[in-house]
Amino acid sequence: MASTIIDSAIFQGIFSSDAMRAVWSDENRTQKYLDIEAALAKVQGQLGLIPQEAADEIISHCQLDQIDMAKLRQQTERIGYPILGVVSQLNLLCRDKLGEYCHWGATTQDITDTATVLQIREGLELVDAELAAISAALAKLCREHRDTPMIGRSNLQQAIPVTFGYKMAGLLSAVERHRERLAQLRPRVLVGEFAGAAGTLASLQTGAMDTQAALCAELGLAQPVIAWHTIRDNIAEVGAFLGLVGGTLGKLSMDVKLMMQTEVGEVFEPYAHGRGSSSTMPQKRNPISSCYIHAAISVVRQHAAALMDAMVADHERSTGPWEIEWIVLPEAFCLMAGALRQSRLVLEGLEVDVAAMRRNIDMTHGLVMSEAVMMGLGPYIGREYAHDLVYDICRAAVKEQRPLLDLLCEHPEINKHLDRPALAALCDPSNYLGQSGVMVDRVLDSLTQ
């Protein structure tokens, strides 16, 4: 019986993905415990710390299908942690009490933390793949619309012309920084944990550091410099990273929602029959993916804050903060998978209405070109005076419902310096796109190879 949006048979494909849900599933988590116990037995057998016969026997039973999951639930509810339940079951599965060598020198948090890191590694691979696809979709839009004029907006008001390629390039630059951040955080985060009760590995009188090094190598993780049982900046960094990615996806969804408004109509989410329709208003085409993105990333940001709270841990093994991670980390990854999937869907099939973009530029009859006119007049009458003069003319254009160009041409302090063709050039949006194209090219040139 599913009770969360992530596990819901109805909503799970909207707010998450099957691949990410599998990463954080009970089955994968438990198999990670078994993988670590098997790796630990293997390296300790090789180091002569436990009998090779015991190592072989333990490894032979580290398969999920040999674990009674119903029993593990009961054990976990009774004990409070699943690791002892797993170890107990392995012990009973092994012949001749060879299972007594399972978990040799380890503590519950060693196995739990290392399993979490292995899950994080798998989760980040899925995030990385989605970011790469989103980057490619944004790059395609940048190339196609490098020189497509649209109105830029400030405080939700029309400002000056930009290009749609420029708008997409801003998002693309952020996505590329996220990909760089992901590459940079991996060495800090993908680190194993094997340190014993209080982090000192006192449980192994010989071969302690050799075991730690070999275990981490076996699992493909870096060896920790020191125990991190209650030093949780690495996990919090993952949460912060997901929060940052979510912020960029939220920016994308916000702009798409605003541009999809009936009165704007510049872009539309991909069309599918009935998608985003209303139960009572047949004409509606709601920005449904953008709604899902907004909701998901808002929760992810709160989870990032919760992982910061989990850093405030007591002494060498914490009482409560650690369990915060159990709650929010899987959900943060799963919701992020949904937001990434919806963002990719939007970008790969985005419908761009170039004519509507031009229509919206022209709807003020030239007022959005006032800055261009002011700067063009500056060399003749001074920038500040030009600002005040054009401001007054703009107010008159609004009051009289006339094109800005006509009023400019009629003004004696202006027409003595610039004739109508010159003023028309200043009022042409295509002449006032600044370095939009150059900036788009720079972003595209910097893409991760």
Is 317 in the active site? yes
d(CA 343, CA 345): 5
Instruction: Out of 285, 317, 359, 402, pick the active-site residue.
Output: 317
Ranges of beta strands (E only) in 189-281 are 267-268
- For the chain, the farthest-separated pair of C-alpha atoms sits apart, in whole angstroms, at 105
Amino acid symbol at 391:
Y
d(CA 171, CA 167): 7
Residue burial 163-187, b: 16+ Cβ < 10 Å; e: rest:
bbbbbbbbbbbbbbebbeebeebee
Is 298 in the active site? no
Is-contact 36 357, C-beta < 8 A? no
Instruction: Out of 188, 278, 298, 420, pick the active-site residue.
Output: 278
Is-contact 9 2, C-beta < 8 A? yes
Question: Residue 198 CB: number of other CB atoms within 10 A?
Answer: 15
Closest CA to 303 of 335, 342, 338: 335
Instruction: Give the H or E element holding residue 445.
Output: helix 436-445
d(CA 409, CA 432): 19
Our separate counts of H helices and E strands in the chain read 19, 4
Strand-pair partners of 162: 150
**Both structure tokens of 99:** 């299972």
The set of catalytic residues is 278, 317
